[in-house]
Structure 1
């Protein structure tokens, strides 16, 4: 299903220009026009789905495989020393284009000052972690 006002649907349809690097029957991978690092690629499903909560499992799996392939190319072709795979689901998680996508961001030894983690890892409260885990499992209190 295509959505006329969706930027990424336009890229899939070819009505919006992009630099494609790979595609198959379920996915399209193309260069991000606002790259975090050299080789930053977006991987999207051809079928429109708003986000991680809406995407069909088959399309999610195909996007994951395509993202893995793009990560491998970043290492093999561009000499990246690592890769970040990022999905943003919802405005509070920084989603700005509402068509599911993975960011495949190659990382290089000299880019540590350019990109940082979005949070500072600090130890959590063990009791709260256990309680939240129980809630996510569906355990009754």
Structure 2
């Protein structure tokens, strides 16, 4: 279990409460899928649990299972939506592990042979581009 406490003022908690906007892709009773606003590739999405947890070190097992089921569904979906060759799935826990936002989340990034991930610059992507990618993923999900 993580020694640090969950902070309910993190950006994903605010998105879950409707206090911040997001490009929502998919939602069920335990998870929410949104576009990453600083994508490392086209179609980069985030799967987050609705229940509060800081990361994989303190998430309840049922919530983790729900997150991973959604990750698998979305991996198939982004491959279909973008004609990708595969995916990169990433989860970072605690600062030493590269975590920046302290609400459990899993990155799902469509990947293409011979194309590297973009560097994480900290700059937000164009909103219209994110909206277009979100719509493309939602259409692929509906056709699944």
The TM-score range, normalised by the shorter chain, is 0.7 to 0.9
Distance in 2, matches of 1:93 and 1:4, equals 21
- Size of the aligned set, in residue pairs, is 114
Residue matched to 2:113? 109
Residue matched to 1:65? 69
**In the alignment, is the contact (CA less than 8 A) between 2:26 and 2:33 conserved in 1?**
yes
Comparing both chains, which one has the higher relative contact order based on Cα–Cα distances under 8 Å and sequence gaps of 6 or more?
A: 2
TM-score norm. by structure 1 comes to: 0.76
Distance in 1, matches of 2:117 and 2:10, equals 33
Q: RMSD of the TM alignment (CA)?
A: 1.6
The structure whose Rg is larger is 1
- After superposition, residues 38-77 of structure 1 pair within 5 angstroms as 38-77=42-81
Off by >4 Å, runs of 4+ in structure 1: none
1:48/1:113 CA distance change after superposition, 3 Å: closer
SS in 2 for 1:16: coil
1:27 aligns with 2:26: no
Residue matched to 1:81? 85
- Shift in Å at residue 78 of structure 1? 1.1
Unmatched 5+ residue regions in structure 2? 1-5, 120-144
TM-score norm. by structure 2 comes to: 0.75
